[in-house]
């Protein structure tokens, strides 16, 4: 039986039969602003909260920008995990990717032999753009994912530049190689919306529907079934706090402390269009 690990994405695990398969690879595809890096941060952070180590491989942004992104989301404990060496960064931006993947990466993996860590790769796109041959793309990406699965579970992001049906040339090979593919659909304009679709998941049942999601500071990505309706309430946060704590009576003091910190930083407008009962249930399930 495959072990499941929590994604850290609020509301997502029930759609994946409990979470991601351990030592699998997941590719999260989305356009700019869809929340791909936020997804990667949440995945890593969930493991850190459980005492698991995290590895963040950046193929584009530098370490400082990644840290700023986390701090802007209200996740200031990232500084503690870096100081304690629980979160390790590999900045491969600007490197020759073939050298990095074929020579440097295996040496790193050998040093972590026997580990079971969470790994984020953000994004895969530079490798694809820097490798014109599709055969080489498949060889490099396949080798990288295979090596990293030896030491843990992977979430990699991929930029979406083509049609919304994921038929662009740069998406084909990563989608084929990955064990799980999640599409973050982000539309801007009169029909502004965010929808999450689990495209495939090897060895596990998963939802085949579209699910609405929202990004909220402190909470990150929230996936819901009931959608969003605009509400005018000035007590959203207080109501949410009450409902969450009612569900968390058996939780550990540490879990309650973490939740209280998150909820205390929320603003009413952050959650004014989310069903409060559903959000309370999602938060309680995540931290119980």
The DSSP line for 215-251 is EETTTEEEEESS-B-----S-HHHHHHHHHHHH-TTS
234/31 Cα distance (integer angstroms): 33
State whether the Cα torsion 203-204-209-211 is positive or negative: negative
* DSSP classification of residue 274: B
**Residue closest to 176 by CA, chosen among 153, 200, 207, 144:** 200
Instruction: With beta carbons less than 8 A apart as the criterion, state whether 147 and 176 touch.
Output: no
User: What local confidence, expressed as pLDDT, does residue 165 receive?
Assistant: 75
User: What local confidence, expressed as pLDDT, does residue 283 receive?
Assistant: 93
CATH architecture of 4-225: 3-Layer(aba) Sandwich (3.40)
| Residues paired with residue 215 on neighbouring β-strands, in sequence order | 221
User: What local confidence, expressed as pLDDT, does residue 157 receive?
Assistant: 98
User: What local confidence, expressed as pLDDT, does residue 232 receive?
Assistant: 47
Going residue by residue through the chain, which has 288 residues, state the pLDDT in tens, using 9 for 90 and above: 789 999 999 999 999 999 999 999 999 999 999 999 999 999 999 999 999 999 999 999 889 999 999 999 999 999 999 999 999 999 998 889 999 999 999 999 999 989 999 999 999 999 999 998 999 999 999 999 999 999 999 999 999 987 777 878 789 999 999 999 999 999 877 667 899 999 999 999 999 999 999 999 999 999 987 655 545 456 789 999 999 999 998 889 988 998 999 899 899 989 988 889 999 999 999 887
For 242, other C-beta atoms within 10 Å of its C-beta total 12
């Amino acid at each position: 039986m495959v072990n499941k690990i929590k994604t850290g994405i609020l509301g997502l695990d029930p759609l994946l039969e409990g979470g991601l398969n351990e030592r699998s690879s997941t590719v999260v595809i989305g356009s700019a602003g869809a929340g791909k890096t936020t997804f990667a941060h949440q995945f890593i952070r969930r493991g850190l909260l459980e005492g698991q180590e995290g590895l963040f491989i950046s193929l584009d942004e530098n370490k400082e920008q990644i840290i700023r992104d986390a701090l802007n989301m209200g996740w200031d404990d990232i500084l503690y995990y870096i100081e304690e060496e629980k979160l390790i960064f590999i900045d491969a931006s600007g490197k020759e990717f073939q050298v990095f993947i074929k020579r440097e990466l295996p040496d790193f993996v050998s040093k972590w032999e026997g580990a079971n860590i969470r790994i984020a790769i953000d994004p895969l796109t530079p490798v694809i753009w820097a490798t014109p041959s599709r055969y080489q793309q498949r060889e490099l990406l396949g080798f990288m994912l295979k090596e990293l699965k030896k030491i843990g579970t992977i979430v990699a992001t991929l930029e979406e530049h083509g049609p919304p049906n994921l038929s662009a040339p740069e998406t084909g090979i990563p989608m084929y190689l990955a064990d799980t593919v999640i599409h973050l659909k982000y539309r801007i304009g009169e029909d502004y919306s965010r929808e999450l679709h689990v495209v495939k998941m090897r060895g596990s049942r998963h939802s085949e529907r579209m699910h609405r999601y929202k990004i909220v500071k402190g909470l990150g990505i929230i996936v819901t079934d009931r959608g969003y309706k605009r509400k005018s309430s000035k007590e959203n946060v207080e109501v949410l706090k009450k409902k969450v704590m009612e569900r968390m009576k058996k939780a550990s003091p540490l879990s309650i402390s973490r939740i209280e910190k998150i909820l205390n930083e929320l603003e009413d407008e952050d959650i004014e269009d989310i069903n409060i009962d559903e959000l309370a249930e999602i938060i309680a399930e995540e931290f119980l």
